[in-house]
Amino acid sequence: MKNESVDYNLLQALVKRSRMSSYWLAVLLTLVLVLFLLLAAFLDGQMDSLGGWEFWRQFIGAPVIVGYIFMIYPYMLRLSRNAAETFRRLQPPGIPENAAPVSHAPKRRWEWLSIAVGVLFWVLVQQAWDWEWGVDGWWLYIYALVSFSLLFGLMAWLIYVSLVESRNLNRLSRQKLDLDIFNTSALIPVSRASLSTSFAFLGGISISLIFQTVDSLLVWQNITIYSILVLATLLIFFFSMWSTHRTMAAIKHDELALARSELEKALRRLKESSLIKQSPQSGDLHAAVAAWGTYERHVREAREWPFNAVILRRLAASTLIPALVYLLKVFLGIRLFG
């Protein structure tokens, strides 16, 4: 049996070290952050504020979304690995196993750097050194700094590792694939992996909108943050799909060239045979021209993207849901839980 070294990203390493499932770790981390929030409120003498939604709206969003990321990432990773395995199964027989590109885990220093960039981005954009929370208290202020730094560092890390996974799929798609242009269902796992990424990011955006007011959604800081998250979601989705599209387009181009070449040959032979009266081959040549003409038309109409109608509808729905929530809260004044 071949020995393989397995590399883990930061979140996987944390889950393995905790000896807990990612789901229980997400619950535990969320509860710990909530307990620290209660402790900070107690130290600042703000326990009376716990009965109002305004207090929770300001501080509970970070623990909830951090737990959401810990809970949803294993699902994203599993679908991404299924997509990578799909490309390996499509590799033609006879090619050595070590000839195929291999997936690479994110480099640890770049993971830490992405976290630092996320924290720095939040501090600069939100001007955290001069934040007005509406609740006086140094402990709550420190809690907000720590919890939101953790949240934005984790979001930046998730964007980075998602781009790494997309790059791995890009590399795997560039190998020679035994793919039928008329049956691209084998590539559905690739579409599902890309779609799961968009669901995860847009789901997090939708959750965060619950904790926003109409006024907060109109400030340039939040508009900038949400715009970057939506653009990152679309970039990751189409980046992982573009190489697959390019592979399908190349296979389609080769099949189309073959069909047109054979059609041209059949037409030339049919023309030559028409000069000979009662040629015994004319019937076969007519059939060949019709067959290659039909094949050429079907190849020309074949899809170049591994999408089907269901996937496109789900992508559109996942994109529209947070946009609709945002627009409803801003233009119609609907305040969720507020």
Instruction: Kindly state the average pLDDT of the residues 206-214.
Output: 82
Q: Give the model confidence (pLDDT) of 41-84 as tens digits.
A: 998 888 888 888 888 888 899 999 999 999 888 888 888 888 88
Residue that has been written with the tokens 């959604």 in this structure: 217
DSSP state of 2: -
Contact present, 163 and 236 (Cβ < 8 Å): yes
Contact present, 146 and 128 (Cβ < 8 Å): no
Sorting pLDDT into bands at 50, 70 and 90, what band is 85? confident
d(CA 263, CA 267): 6
Q: Give the model confidence (pLDDT) of 264-302 as tens digits.
A: 887 777 777 766 655 555 667 777 778 888 888 888 877
Q: Considering the chain, what is the average pLDDT of its residues?
A: 78
Q: 3-state DSSP call for residue 161?
A: helix
d(CA 305, CA 248): 7
Q: Is pLDDT at 4 greater than 80 in this prediction?
A: no
d(CA 23, CA 252): 43
Q: Which residues of 27-39 are buried (b: 16+ CB within 10 A; e: fewer)?
A: eebbeebbebbee
Q: Is 89 left (phi over 0), alpha (psi -120 to 50) or beta?
A: alpha
Query: Could you tell me which residues come within 8 angstroms of residue 252 by beta carbon, excluding any fewer than 6 positions away?
Result: 181, 299, 302, 304
More confident residue, 2 or 155: 155
Residue by residue, what is the 3-state secondary structure of 103-136?
CCCCCHHHHHHHHHHHHHHHHHHHCHHHCCCCCC
CA 219 to chain centre: 27
Q: Give the model confidence (pLDDT) of 134-172 as tens digits.
A: 446 788 888 999 999 999 999 999 999 988 888 888 787
d(CA 62, CA 37): 11
Q: Is pLDDT at 226 greater than 80 in this prediction?
A: yes
d(CA 258, CA 296): 9
Q: 3-state DSSP call for residue 258?
A: helix
Sorting pLDDT into bands at 50, 70 and 90, what band is 120? very high
Q: Is pLDDT at 115 greater than 90 in this prediction?
A: yes
Structure tokens at 235: 């970039």
Q: Is pLDDT at 182 greater than 80 in this prediction?
A: no
Sorting pLDDT into bands at 50, 70 and 90, what band is 37? very high
Query: Could you tell me which residues come within 8 angstroms of residue 106 by beta carbon, excluding any fewer than 6 positions away?
Result: 9, 10, 160, 161, 164
Instruction: Kindly state the average pLDDT of the residues 169-187.
Output: 75
Q: Is pLDDT at 93 greater than 60 in this prediction?
A: yes
